[in-house]
Amino acid sequence: MFWTRATGSRLTHGLRQQVMVFIACLLAMVLVWLASTTRPWHAMDAKVFDLFTTWTAPRKVDLPLVILAIDEPSFQQLQTQWPFPRRLHAKVLERLRADGAIAVGFDLVFAEPSTTKDDTLLARAISDGPPVVLAASREQTESGNASLWSDVMPLDAFLIAGAVAGQVQVIPDDDYVVRRSSIEADSFSLRMATLGASVGKFGTVKPKAELIEYVGPRATFDTRSYYQALEPALLPKGFFAGKIVLIGRSVRTAVELTGSQSDMFNSPFAVTAQDDRLFPGVELQANLISNLLSGEGLKTVDDRWVAALVLTMVVLLAAVGLRSHPSMTAAVATGMVLGVWPLSLGLFAVQKIWMTPLLPMLIVIAMYSSSMLINYIGSRRRALQTRMMFSQYVPKEVVSRLVERPELLRLGGEARELTLMFTDLANFTTMSERLSAEATVEVLTEYFNAMTPVIHRHGGTVDKFIGDAVMAFWGAPLDDVQHAEHAVRAAIEMQVAMGRLTQRLVERGLPPIAMRIGLHTGRVVVGNIGSDSRFSYTAVGDAVNLAARLEGANKAFGTGILLSEATAAALPDDLTLRLLDSVIVKGKSEAINVYSPTSDADLCRLSAEAVRFFYAQQWEASETAFRELLRGKPYDYAALRFLTRLEDIREKPAGQCWTGAMSLDKL
């Protein structure tokens, strides 16, 4: 879950959780941003750049550019050691001039003189031939605490003959792949592009790219072996007409060029084709020239647009997290992470703009993960609190379900129909007077240990222990459509357990005690009720008071369980009940019937008839039914109390108003 509304009864808890999530997300953003400035991050960005290059490269060239590669076949055919005699280069230039080449670029540094004859032949060929650009380079030397750079230029004789020097220096990344288009005014590629534009039909040079847009892997440009230009029969006459020609090394294993491997670079296409890993410098220059003449190349996206994209994603994710289900938040976060890739790739392929997908993607992942972590910690803390709060009051399986689905627990109080139970011990005061405080607590503990499992077994919640009394209810915190039945069955089983407990107490020389239980079903407010500093999960309302008073009314009926007609109406037929009387609750004007569970069908029938005759004012019939009941149960408190009431009625003066149902206050 991302930011979520507080579900607790106190707003401050939710706000504190939101603040923690906000701080965690902000910290995650800062950490991702700091990570984006590191070299490992730049290496990952570079690999994504290479992947996009591999996917989008056109792998075809419209530019009339030919590479004469000094490759392994050339060494084999010419049987010449490196460096080649410059008379060979002069011969190649003569061929290119004869064919009508537009411009020629040697990606070779002629900084040292060779033989006078060879240098003269090359200078003459330069003078007579098409425009020529010769490679220049920069070398770094360490002097004390400083690094000194010096230009390595072609021989003056060649420059005087008309050649132009162009710097072939490039800046590879740590993985030795050249991605940046560092075009300077004296660069080899810019001077070749300028010559081509001035002589050919290529328009104007457009040096606007920041990154190289590679047209394809090795050998995408028309590449011929160097030796082929020396043999007229190998390439047709006029083959080089109207073309830009680049001459440079393109070898991988030749022993002759062991010392010149610095002119080989790793290819962006190596991510998918291992054979294309080594990329000759002459082809790198060809890509640069192609970008300059076609106006292609890549620009990096403005940092402000990246910031705007990240901010939009963050705000959207936060808004969804605040108002939606966690699954929706996860779906939106996943959509954003996946959507950044086609957005970045589309900009790369169509708009020629490089925007790394890693930064916005990882910021979303980091924010979502951090919020999930904070909410998980919060949910675990709430789960522990829930377990601590309810483990003493409800069954373990109920606690587990509340922890799994906290939305079932509506904190703060809600109106709900419950069945409530109150119990009390008869004669406990007499017993406690004979016992020490420690022994009294021991008996109470034994009593509570006997009753609590029974309540839990039937799905009840123990609200509290009040002295020797127990308050419990059914129907919360989890819904229970059979809460009345479960409460009554629990009460019956509790009386059975009480019988065993009493027997153990008597065997220890203690006086017998009995338990009274009152049950009522009604609407109450249930939830975490109390102050900010102290609260408990409990139920309040008139129904609670009635259940408590029914417990005490057991004394008047000589019963162990007394329940209201609201509870009786919700019970199945297999739970037989005895109608005991009709009573008036304090504060109410209408009477309610009260019952007690029993398995004696005759007792239920006789009691129901006797009570019905009584309230129909059929005194003789009522007395007859009660006396018949007493023959089977001579000491029945309820029947004896009715006979006493019948005697009082007969003794009253004629015409005196009959009061009917008794008030619970008088029982």
170-184 pLDDT, tens digit each = 888 888 888 888 778
Q: What is the DSSP string of 544-571?
A: HHHHHHHHHHHHHHT-SEEEEHHHHTTS
Name the CA radius of gyration of the chain, rounded: 49
Long-range contacts of 377-384 (CB under 8 A, 24+ apart): 378/17, 378/20, 379/406, 382/8, 382/406
Contact (CB, 8 A) for 1 and 375: yes
How many Cβ atoms are within 10 Å of 655's Cβ, its own excluded?
5
Among the listed ranges 140-154, 403-417, 515-529, which one has the minimum average pLDDT value? 403-417
The domain limits of the chain are 11-35+301-387, 60-299, 409-568
CA separation, residue 91 to residues 95, 241, 571 (Å): 6, 16, 113
Label residue 390 by pLDDT band (50, 70, 90).
low
Label residue 10 by pLDDT band (50, 70, 90).
very low
Asked if the model's pLDDT at residue 299 lies above 80, the reply is yes
Contact (CB, 8 A) for 124 and 162: no
Long-range contacts of 432-436 (CB under 8 A, 24+ apart): 434/510, 434/511, 435/510
Asked if the model's pLDDT at residue 151 lies above 60, the reply is yes
pTM of the model: 0.59
Strand partners, 152: 137
CATH of domain 409-568: 3.30.70.1230
What is the structure's pLDDT at 261? 47
Phi, then psi, of 234 in degrees rounded to 5 = -80, -35
What is the structure's pLDDT at 309? 87
Identify each DSSP E strand in 155-271 by its residue range.
164-167, 222-225, 244-249, 264-266
What is the structure's pLDDT at 258? 47
